[in-house]
Amino acid sequence: MNDTLALSSPSSPALSARPPVRLLVVDDHPVVRSGLMGMLGSAADVEVVGQAADGAAAVELAGELAPDVVLMDLRMPVLDGVEATRRILAAPDPPRVVVLTTYDTDGDILPAVEAGAIGYLLKDSPREDILAAVRAAAVGRGVLSPAVTTRLVKAVHCADGAAHGAQAPVALSPREREILMAVSRGRSNSQIGTELFIAEATVKTYLLRAFHKLGVDTRAAAVAEALKRGLLDLG
C-alpha cells in the first residue's frame, strides 16, 4: 500500500466562522504519521487533508492539496525535510511549514529555520503545544520550543564567522530586541503585548520592522539572524 495518500475526510460541524486549518502531515514512520493524524485531526478546527512518507511526496502533495500548514519531519528518505521545506516555500502562495522532529541537534535546527520553517518543535511536545503551533502557523505566527531556542543559540554561535563579518551592520531598537527576546522564549504576540503593556498590533509593527532590518520574514528566522549578528543575548 502506498504510504503517500491524499485524504478526504468529512469536516466536523463548524464551531466558528473560520474554516478549519488544512494540515498535511509528513513523516517517514507510519505509526508516527497515524498518531499525529489522529491526535491533531480530532481537533474541531483542524482538518488533516493528506499525509506523506518522504520529502518529495510532501512537495508534490503541498502543490496538489493546498494545505494551510505542513507538519514536517526532517530526516526522511528520497528528500529530507529541509530541502522539502525550501521547495514547498519556493512555490507561489505556499503553506506555512512547522518542523516536528525528534532531532534537536545544532545541525538540524539552523538549516530548517534558514529554509523558512515558521516553527520548530520536538515530537515529545504535548498535544496542546503542537496544536497551538499549527494554529499559530496558520495565521502567520511562528513557534520555537524553549529547548529548540537553547540549541539555536549554540548553532548560531558555531556558524561560520566569515559570512557574518561581511554583513552590513544592523541596529535594532531596544524595543525590537526586547520583543525578539520574548519571541525566543516562545511568547505569542498577544502574550508579548500583555507583558510589555502595548497593543498586539504594536508588537506586530515592531516585529515587521525587525524583519525588514534583518532581511527575514519569519519569527524563527529573525531570532536566528539576530543571534548570528550578536544582537541578542539569551544567556
- Distance, in Å, from the CA atom of 198 to the CA atom of 206, rounded to the nearest integer, reads 11
For the chain, the average pLDDT equals 83
Q: Band of the pLDDT at 6, cuts 50, 70, 90?
A: very low
- How many helices (H) and strands (E) the chain has is answered by 11, 7
| Every domain of the chain and the residues it spans | 5-152, 163-228
Strand segments, DSSP code E, in the chain are: 5-6, 21-26, 46-52, 69-72, 96-101, 119-122, 143-144
Cell 557574518 appears where? 164
- Distance, in Å, from the CA atom of 185 to the CA atom of 196, rounded to the nearest integer, reads 14
pLDDT value for 231: 85
- Distance, in Å, from the CA atom of 128 to the CA atom of 6, rounded to the nearest integer, reads 25
pLDDT value for 125: 87
The CATH number of the structural domain formed by 163-228 is 1.10.10.10
Query: Looking at residues 34-43, what average pLDDT do you find?
Result: 94
**What percent of the chain lies above the pLDDT cut of 70?**
81
pLDDT value for 17: 65
Residue 26 near residue 5 (C-beta atoms within 8 A): no
Query: Looking at residues 114-118, what average pLDDT do you find?
Result: 87
Residue 140 near residue 96 (C-beta atoms within 8 A): yes
**Domain 5-152 architecture:** 3-Layer(aba) Sandwich (3.40)
- Distance, in Å, from the CA atom of 175 to the CA atom of 164, rounded to the nearest integer, reads 23
